[in-house]
């Protein structure tokens, strides 16, 4: 089968690899129908050390179940399923608490051991806990929005929950990538009164406004922090969604939160320390967030997608096939595309 393999920074190839197959009785085999490239795939795309073995890529996908192991109960051959960006057993202490990204028997797609989502088929470990069956067919018009349940929409929702967004509050979203844009959707969905988007790409800002952003701050660094303060009566935002991950974004996030406010961070941190330890202490800030347990949010977000109340699939502005994946990485890395969808 054809699949995406990364061998080092800037070196993404589509190659013929061994066919995905069932190994454990708890596995399912999924034939991928849609997948996508993630902003977090760009971190290794810019920094991965050369590797002879290469890493299989992709962690967001929808597909048809082709076969299941003898212990699988909740999905069957022919089901259309969405996979969360981490696999999990659904039964351990953490899964039961809705924190599937900390599953004691779970893990991450791709690498050197497992299939990735940017390929024609995937072996799914712990299929009962991992897969979520969709009540539509594979050609449904809502497929792009349903695909975002595998990561970016659930991750934006996690940022908003972690930032304690609620009615009457001012939310600020740091980052205008696909996750930041979904964070805007999530903040509106949870009732934020105002939503400030920090970003400066015109196409993304336009989409953020469509999704519910009420204010735009395009300045960066100290000027951006000042602008948010001005917009919030000098106090800062109640809820800050950090959707980037690098140090400057995190510094901005903690600097624009008001005293007693919360920062929900979902950008993968590229630094080992948190900035501004003393000011955040004296301001009684809550700093929460982490890898989103998107599996836990699928059931809650699905009706809003199916009934058209949210349209997170609009973050996809480019579509390719499997052979076009390397160009897709390039387009996203050069910010020529917000998010690339792969159709099989």
Interface size with Zn ion, residues (CB under 5 A) = 5
C-alpha 7/C-alpha 23 separation (Å) is: 26
User: Is 296 near Zn ion (CB under 5 A)?
Assistant: no
Nearest CA to 227 out of 301, 279, 172 is that of 172
User: Is 103 near Zn ion (CB under 5 A)?
Assistant: yes
Question: Shortest approach of Zn ion to residue 125 CB, angstroms?
Answer: 11
User: Is 68 near Zn ion (CB under 5 A)?
Assistant: no
Instruction: Report the C-alpha dihedral over residues 204, 205, 206, 211, rounded to 10 degrees.
Output: 90
Q: Based on CB atoms, which residue is closest to Zn ion, 103 or 159?
A: 103
The whole-angstrom distance between residue 96's C-alpha and the CA centroid of its chain comes to 21
Question: Shortest approach of Zn ion to residue 192 CB, angstroms?
Answer: 31
Stretch that binds Zn ion, among 102-110, 134-142, 243-251, 281-289 (CB under 5 A): 102-110
Q: Based on CB atoms, which residue is closest to Zn ion, 5 or 99?
A: 99
Structure tokens at 295: 């599996």
Stretch that binds Zn ion, among 101-109, 244-252, 262-270, 331-339 (CB under 5 A): 101-109
Q: Based on CB atoms, which residue is closest to Zn ion, 154 or 183?
A: 154
Q: Contact letters (x/-) for Zn ion, 73-92, by CB under 5 A? A: ---------------xx--x
C-alpha 278/C-alpha 275 separation (Å) is: 9
Question: Shortest approach of Zn ion to residue 148 CB, angstroms?
Answer: 23
Give the CA distances from residue 120 to residues 72, 75, 142, 321, 339, in Å, rounded to whole numbers and listed in that order.
22, 19, 21, 10, 19
Structure tokens at 23: 């190994």
Question: Shortest approach of Zn ion to residue 156 CB, angstroms?
Answer: 23
Question: Shortest approach of Zn ion to residue 153 CB, angstroms?
Answer: 22
Question: Shortest approach of Zn ion to residue 6 CB, angstroms?
Answer: 27
Stretch that binds Zn ion, among 98-106, 153-161, 262-270, 329-337 (CB under 5 A): 98-106
Q: Are 195 and 174 spatial neighbours (Cβ–Cβ below 8 Å)? A: no
132 three-state secondary structure:
strand
- Strand 170-174 to 237-242 pairing: parallel
C-alpha 79/C-alpha 73 separation (Å) is: 12
Question: Shortest approach of Zn ion to residue 96 CB, angstroms?
Answer: 8
Choice from 75, 95, 213, 305 touching Zn ion (CB under 5 A): 95
User: Is 342 near Zn ion (CB under 5 A)?
Assistant: no
Q: Based on CB atoms, which residue is closest to Zn ion, 83 or 262?
A: 83
Give the CA distances from residue 294 to residues 48, 154, 179, 217, 268, in Å, rounded to whole numbers and listed in that order.
26, 5, 13, 28, 15
Across 139-176, b (16+ Cβ under 10 Å) vs e yields eeeebbbbbbbbbbbbbbbbbbbbbbbbeebbbbbbbb
Question: Shortest approach of Zn ion to residue 128 CB, angstroms?
Answer: 11
Q: Based on CB atoms, which residue is closest to Zn ion, 88 or 150?
A: 88
Q: Based on CB atoms, which residue is closest to Zn ion, 80 or 103?
A: 103
Q: Based on CB atoms, which residue is closest to Zn ion, 99 or 256?
A: 99
Contact residues: Zn ion, CB under 5 A: 88-89, 92, 95, 103
């Amino acid at each position: 089968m054809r699949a995406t393999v990364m061998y080092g920074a800037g070196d993404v190839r589509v190659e013929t690899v061994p066919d995905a197959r069932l190994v454990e009785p708890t596995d399912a085999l999924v034939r991928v129908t849609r997948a996508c490239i993630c902003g977090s795939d760009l971190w290794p795309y810019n920094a991965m050390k050369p590797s002879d073995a290469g890493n299989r890529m992709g962690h967001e996908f929808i597909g048809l179940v082709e076969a299941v192991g003898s212990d699988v109960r909740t999905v069957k051959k022919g089901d259309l399923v969405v996979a969360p960006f981490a696999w999990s057993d659904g039964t351990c202490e953490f899964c039961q608490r809705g924190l599937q990204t900390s599953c004691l028997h779970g893990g991450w797609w791709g690498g050197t051991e497992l299939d990735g989502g940017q390929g024609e088929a995937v072996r799914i470990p712990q299929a009962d806990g991992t897969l979520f069956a969709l009540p539509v067919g594979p050609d449904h018009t809502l497929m792009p929005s349903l695909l975002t349940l595998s990561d970016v929409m659930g991750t934006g929702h996690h940022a908003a929950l972690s930032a304690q967004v609620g009615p009457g509050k001012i939310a600020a979203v740091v980052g205008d990538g696909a996750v930041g844009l979904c964070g805007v959707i999530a903040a509106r969905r949870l009732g934020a009164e105002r939503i400030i988007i920090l970003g400066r790409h015109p196409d993304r800002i336009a989409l953020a406004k469509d999704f519910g952003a009420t204010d735009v701050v395009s300045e960066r660094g100290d000027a951006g922090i000042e602008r948010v303060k001005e917009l919030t009566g000098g106090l800062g935002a109640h809820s800050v969604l950090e959707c980037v991950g690098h140090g400057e974004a995190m510094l901005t996030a903690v600097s624009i939160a008001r005293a007693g406010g919360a920062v929900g961070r979902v950008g993968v941190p590229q630094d080992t320390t948190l900035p501004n330890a003393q000011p955040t202490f004296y301001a009684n800030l809550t700093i929460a967030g982490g890898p989103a347990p998107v599996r836990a949010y699928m059931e809650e977000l699905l009706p809003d997608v199916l009934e058209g109340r949210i349209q997170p699939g609009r973050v996809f502005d480019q579509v390719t096939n499997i052979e076009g994946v390397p160009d897709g990485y390039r387009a996203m890395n050069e910010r020529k595309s917000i998010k690339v969808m792969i159709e099989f």
